[in-house]
Amino acid sequence: MMCGMFDPKTDLLCTLLEPLADGASDNWAGARTALDSASEAEGDVLTLVEARDAAGLRALLDAWTSGESLRPLHDRGVLKRAVKAFRKRLKLARLDQESRIGGPMSSGQKSGIVAVEAPDQYPPDVWAEIVRQGRLLDAGHRQLELPPEA
């Protein structure tokens, strides 16, 4: 992903920072601008970007991925909104099916839908991170489902 195309409403900071940490991009100025738009213009991330410290950035990204360190507020907000959008899509799919299986004389059958395709307003890396965290399960064929209730 290029830094100029960063959408703070739907993109994760780790996706923006990954090419810088790997040396695949040198658009540090673009990353700095994107950090401002993502309201993450303080703390460790900003310090590393301003210092152009690829090794430090790689260590921070690895800590986020491993769960050793909390993701930035921006990423947590994006992930939360994505799960909410998924739940809404699942609910609407179930309601749609339930409205078709009966009419006014319905037996009150519940929908059998357990998985739906993830909303496309969020990029695939967002859904991959949510699945990695166990908040949703990959049901195959680009479909996701809620994990069983604990």
In a domain, residue 48? The reply is yes
pLDDT of residue 70: 87
Asked if 134 and 83 sit in the same domain, the reply is yes
* Number of C-beta neighbours around residue 6 at 10 A: 20
Give the residue from 43, 66, 89 where a domain finishes: 66
pLDDT of residue 102: 61
Calculate ∠ Cα 44-50-56, nearest 5°. Answer: 50
- Whole-model pTM: value is 0.83
Question: Which residues does 34 contact at the CB level (< 8 Å), separation at least 6?
Answer: 3, 6, 8, 16
More confident residue, 82 or 99: 82
Distance CA 12, CA 83 (A): 14
Domain housing 41: 3-66
Asked if 82 and 135 sit in the same domain, the reply is yes
Q: What is the mean pLDDT of residues 77-86?
A: 96
Taking each continuous run of H as one helix and of E as one strand, the counts in the chain are: 6, 3
Q: Tens digits of per-residue pLDDT, 105-141?
A: 555 677 788 899 999 999 999 999 999 999 999 999 9
DSSP-assigned beta bridge partners for residue 115: 145
Backbone angles phi, psi at 144, to 5 degrees: -125, 155
> How many domains does the structure of the chain reveal?
2
In a domain, residue 83? The reply is yes
Give the residue from 27, 43, 66 where a domain finishes: 66
Q: Tens digits of per-residue pLDDT, 42-78?
A: 678 889 999 999 999 999 999 998 889 888 888 999 9
Asked if 134 and 86 sit in the same domain, the reply is yes
pLDDT of residue 41: 62
**131, 145 contact by CB (below 8 A):** no
Asked if 62 and 79 sit in the same domain, the reply is no
Asked if 140 and 82 sit in the same domain, the reply is yes
Tokens encoding 76: 């947590």
Asked if 82 and 133 sit in the same domain, the reply is yes
Give the residue from 18, 48, 66 where a domain finishes: 66
More confident residue, 113 or 83: 83
Strands (E) located in 95-134: 115-117
Q: What is the mean pLDDT of residues 89-102?
A: 84
